[in-house]
């Protein structure tokens, strides 16, 4: 059997690490487990990734690139700011649903304390999403789609909190409900509040 090109092998290792992080938990995941899953020796893993920390950084980069690409595709397909806002939240929930290890990685004690660079990648990623949401809310306010007294910064924080809260509830609840579907229902209620719509109207 032909040997895989180095880039293909690295992609496989990263994808396997993400899958095993879900199955085993990020704090219990070892490079030996990754090596076994891809059919390599542990030294072969380290030829591609010199340390476990660099492997986690590659995983974080893959997650970040996937999320940013998904955001950009959603924004490119819509012109209405409120629709773009909703699309950003829902695509983020779908990304988490498709990669269920993400919440565990974000809240891993080991990774948070031992890999500052990984934390920085995820922090920058969330700040970027928050900035996109803030921009869309600002445009929606200018267009009269949401309340004029809504501060876009506050609205963006509420939406980030909605995403994170739904993801944690989904993870702790053993994924007993469809995340994106349930998130869409809760988001509808939040958007109604942004618009100043009440049940009596």
pLDDT digits (tens, 9 = 90+) for 45-79: 999 999 999 999 999 999 999 999 999 999 998 99
Q: Can you list the domains of the chain with their CATH numbers?
A: 51-195 (1.10.357.10)
Distance of alpha carbon 39 from alpha carbon 86, whole angstroms: 42
66 token code pair: 């996937």
Distance of alpha carbon 165 from alpha carbon 160, whole angstroms: 8
Helices and strands per DSSP (H, E), number in the chain: 10, 0
Nearest Cα residue to 17 out of 65, 43, 47, 53:
53
Sites in the chain below the pLDDT cut of 70? 1-3, 198-201
Nearest Cα residue to 67 out of 149, 139, 148, 130:
130
Residue 3: its pLDDT value, please?
A: 63
Whether this model's pTM surpasses 0.95 = no
Residue 111: its pLDDT value, please?
A: 73
């Amino acid at each position: 059997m032909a040997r895989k090109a180095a880039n293909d092998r690295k992609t496989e290792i990263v994808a396997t690490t993400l899958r095993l992080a879900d199955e085993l938990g990020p704090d219990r995941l070892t490079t030996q487990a990754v090596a076994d899953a891809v059919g390599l020796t542990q030294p072969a893993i380290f030829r591609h990734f010199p340390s476990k920390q660099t492997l986690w950084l590659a995983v974080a980069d893959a997650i970040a690139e996937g999320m940013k690409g998904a955001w950009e595709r959603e924004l490119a397909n819509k012109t209405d700011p409120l629709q773009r806002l909703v699309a950003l939240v829902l695509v983020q929930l779908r990304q988490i649903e498709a990669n269920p290890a993400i919440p565990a990685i974000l809240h891993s004690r080991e990774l948070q304390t031992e890999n500052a660079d990984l934390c920085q990648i995820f922090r920058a990623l969330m700040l970027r999403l928050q900035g996109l949401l803030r921009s869309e809310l600002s445009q929606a306010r200018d267009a009269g789609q949401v309340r004029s007294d809504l501060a876009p910064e506050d609205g963006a924080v509420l939406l980030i909190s909605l995403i994170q809260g739904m993801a944690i509830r989904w993870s702790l609840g053993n994924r007993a409900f469809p995340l994106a579907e349930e998130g869409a229902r809760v988001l509808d209620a939040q958007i109604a509040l942004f618009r100043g719509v009440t049940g009596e109207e």
